[in-house]
Amino acid sequence: MADYRKMWSDLGMDLEKHDLLCEALPDAFGAIYMSQENRPEGMDFFNFVVSEIHGVRPAELIEHQKNGGKVFGTFCVYVPDEIIFAAGGIATGLCGGSQFWVAGGEKVLPANTCPLIKASVGARLDGTCPFFKIADMYIGETTCDGKKKAWEILQQEVPVYVMDIPQMKREKDILAWKEEIRLLLKRIEEFTGNKVTPEILAEKIKMINNKRKALARLYNTRKSSPVPISGKDALLVTQIAFYDDPVRNAEQVNKLCDELEARIAKGEGVFPKNAPRILITGTPMAIPNWKLHHIIETSGAAVVVEELCTGTRYFENLVDESGKTLDEQIKALAERYMKTNCACFTPNTGRIDDILRLVKEYHVDGVIECNLQFCGLYSTEAYLVQQKLKEADVPYMHLETDYSEQDLEQIRTRVQAFIELLEK
């Protein structure tokens, strides 16, 4: 990585602690990613992003700030990036996916909080992630109890604006969500000093839709057999989409897709044709959480799709681009975002419908549900997911884990037994 020490120091980061993270990441990435054979050349860009993860993009965000722009950190796929970009801001995903940050979060949070929240809070409080330091404002949401309370702690460090997410999807809830998006727009206009016009919002709706289309194209290639890209690589591409520049990201993903489609035309893939095809569902896998994918794909199976927020929930459903007024556009945004199926809603049968649909579309042999420890929402919903998949005769396994490596071998043993079952 180029030398960004001055930038990190100017941000007030803990350089000594941060050095430990910088030392560990290349080894982990090398062991998990660079050991794969026959990777698409189009992954070079994404490898580069990881190699400069705390350098290139943070430097771009700081440049944006120097030019008078604001940066907004987000933690959930319900937060509409379109509004932020339309007000001249930049949205960047902030969910923490590393065990490295968990201890920092545990200093202020109960131990039985999910690792995603602990890592996110720890990354900020310990000063070991430039993205958390750069963001001028965090946009939180009322999705789960742990997050709701975490915002109050983070608010002591940085302005946090919280969106009130409905818990049901009745007509009145969608109207309430539309009102929430309108309030967000107002708050962001005030904070940036920029007015959002229908013309500029239309442009940004299109921009984010283009990113979604590129990711949808990538996932579409994974329906082929043999699959032209590993699940690990597809996951990395999706994770990077949360914080890279959206236009550049769509370009790079499309470039990768050109190569993958050529592979499909030649019948080339990264796993043997008969490798069991796995769908992963559950809680999000924020970068650098590659734990389960690595276990599965070094145990003889291929991950072909993720029904996750770092997966299909992120890009499925486009925003209707035909709105001409702000009111029509906000309505279109509200309708699109409410189509996402998270366990914080009741009922959430749409998620099970999605899983069953994806099983067919991606020719899935088995489903592994993986939830982060202490996520009561997803762990409870797992009962119904299992029940419906059983009824549909789809093999299913449920795991709970965190970001540590303590349970690696235990999970590997269970995953291998599951894969053996699918091979029979």
Binding residues for ligand BJ8, per CB under 6 A?
76-78, 114, 116-117, 143-144, 146-147, 283-284, 309, 340, 342, 344, 372, 375, 377-378
User: What would the two tokens of residue 217 be?
Assistant: 């194209």
Rounded to a whole number of angstroms, the minimum distance from the CB of residue 76 to ligand BJ8 is 3
The residue assigned the tokens 């809070």 is 121
Fill in the DSSP letter of residue 319: P
Q: Which residues of 260-288 are buried (b: 16+ CB within 10 A; e: fewer)?
A: beebbeeeebbbeeebbbbbbbbbbbbbb
In the bound state with ligand BJ8, the residue whose beta carbon lies nearer, of 125 and 256, is: 125
In the bound state with ligand BJ8, the residue whose beta carbon lies nearer, of 78 and 362, is: 78
CA 140 – CA 85 distance, rounded (Å): 17
DSSP for 261-280, please give it.
HHHHHHT--SS-TTSPEEEE
Rounded to a whole number of angstroms, the minimum distance from the CB of residue 77 to ligand BJ8 is 5
The values of phi and psi at residue 92, to 5°, are -140, 130
Rounded to a whole number of angstroms, the minimum distance from the CB of residue 146 to ligand BJ8 is 5
Rounded to a whole number of angstroms, the minimum distance from the CB of residue 208 to ligand BJ8 is 16
Q: Is the dihedral of CA 195, 200, 204, 209 positive or negative?
A: positive
Nearest C-alpha neighbor of 254 from the set 288, 287, 214: 214
Rounded to a whole number of angstroms, the minimum distance from the CB of residue 143 to ligand BJ8 is 3
User: What would the two tokens of residue 228 be?
Assistant: 């032209």
In the bound state with ligand BJ8, the residue whose beta carbon lies nearer, of 33 and 378, is: 378
Rounded to a whole number of angstroms, the minimum distance from the CB of residue 250 to ligand BJ8 is 21
